[in-house]
Amino acid sequence: MLDSLPPATRAILAANVIVFMAQQLIGEALLQQFALWPLGTLFQPWQLVTYAFLHGSFAHIFFNMFALFMFARPLELYWGSRRFTLYYFACVIAAGATQLWTSALANSTEATVGASGGVFGLLLAFAMYFPRQRITLLFPPIPMPAWLFVTLYGALELVLGVTNTQAGVAHFAHLGGMLGGAIVILYWRARKIAP
For the stretch 86-121, pLDDT in tens is 999 999 999 999 999 999 888 888 999 999 999 999
pLDDT (0 to 100) of residue 85 = 98
CB 90 within 8 A of CB 121: yes
Q: Is 1.20.1540.10 the CATH classification of the domain at 2-190?
A: yes
Is 0.85 surpassed by the pTM of this model? yes
**What is d(CA 149, CA 170) in angstroms, rounded to the nearest whole number?**
20
**What is d(CA 49, CA 41) in angstroms, rounded to the nearest whole number?**
18
Of the pLDDT bands very low, low, confident and very high (cuts 50, 70, 90), residue 126 is: very high
pLDDT (0 to 100) of residue 131 = 95
**What is d(CA 59, CA 118) in angstroms, rounded to the nearest whole number?**
17
CB 100 within 8 A of CB 42: no
Closest residue by Cα to residue 118 from 72, 57, 154, 79: 72
Q: What is the pLDDT of residues 179-195, one digit of tens each?
A: 999 999 999 999 887 66
